[in-house]
Amino acid sequence: MRRKFIAGNWKMNKTAEEGAALARELVKALAGGGKADVAVCPPFTALAAVGAELKGSAIALGAQNMHWEKSGAFTGEVSAGMLVSAGCKYVILGHSERRGLFGETDATVNRKLAAALAAGLAPIVCVGEVLAEREAGRTLEVVAGQVRNSLANLDARDMLKVTLAYEPVWAIGTGRNATPEQAQEVHAAIRGLLAELFGKASAEAVRIQYGGSVNAANAKSILSMPDVDGALVGGASLKAADFAAIVGSS
Ligand code: 13P
């Protein structure tokens, strides 16, 4: 039985002070513990302040991006080791906003994945089709290509440390979530491909989150699907009550 995993992607929101305040609220709201693993991924500048608030709680810290090199002349970048030292357990890789706005490709995601695993981080690898691809009936083909190429050269043991996030780009920030059935179809296809690539046991153990306009009202129906193992939540993760309600739906 896979344990559900709910992660909040704060994107470019919250200063250190604002992030610490939200983290304090979340620690209070989720104090009872629960059945799901929970993480929040603030911007780099808020990691330390948020991490300090999360200490001793069951909420883990994650980052939204990283570079594949350990150090060097890469102005504006942050390494996996730096994230570990900032208290991160998780790192989101290949989010569609990174792919679409900042030129990330499956190849760069793959390099980042190897570096993240080498540093001991648990990566959350994002995949998902754009609207034109869905409308052309190419969703499964596009997502399979992203999964194959982003996870290239990974062995089955390392795969167990990875979470996948299926985030249809047309559902992100639009208020138009995938239906539970649409999510399930893609999640099941991803799991089938993982079985082919890494064996059935790994495929059954890997968690696949859904992301894209998840909120307190729709979380339960999406999370009830058999191959949906959690959620990667954007906008609704910025309000403690909403995020706590989503965690409570899992
Ligand atoms: P929204 O929940 O705001 O649609 O964002 C989803 C997302 O991109 C999470 O990574």
Q: How many domains does the chain have?
A: 1
CATH number at residue 36: 3.20.20.70
The domain in which residue 213 lies consists of 4-249
Per the residue annotation, which of 97, 129, 133, 167 is the catalytic one?
Answer: 167
Instruction: Give the total residue count for the chain.
Output: 250
Other Cβ atoms less than 10 A from the Cβ of 198: the count is 21
CA distance linking residue 94 with residue 110, whole number of Å: 9
Chain-centroid distance, C-alpha 172: 13
Structure tokens at 77: 């970048």
Which atom number of ligand 1 is nearest to the Cα of residue 96?
Answer: 8
Nearest to 85 by CA among 70, 95, 75: 70
List all residues whose CB is within 6 A of at least one atom of ligand 1: 9, 95, 167, 172-173, 211-214, 232-236
pLDDT tens for the 250 residues of the chain, in order: 899 999 999 999 999 999 999 999 999 999 987 889 999 999 999 999 999 999 999 999 999 999 999 999 999 999 999 999 999 999 999 999 999 999 999 999 999 999 999 999 999 999 999 999 999 999 999 999 999 999 999 999 999 999 999 999 999 999 999 999 999 999 999 999 999 999 999 999 999 999 999 999 999 999 999 999 999 999 999 999 999 999 999 8
Question: Residue 201: how many CA atoms within 13 Å on its side-chain side?
Answer: 4
Torsion of the alpha carbons at 203, 205, 208 and 214, rounded to the nearest 10: 150
Work out which ligand 1 atom sits closest to the CA atom of 173.
4
Cα 173 off chain centre by: 15
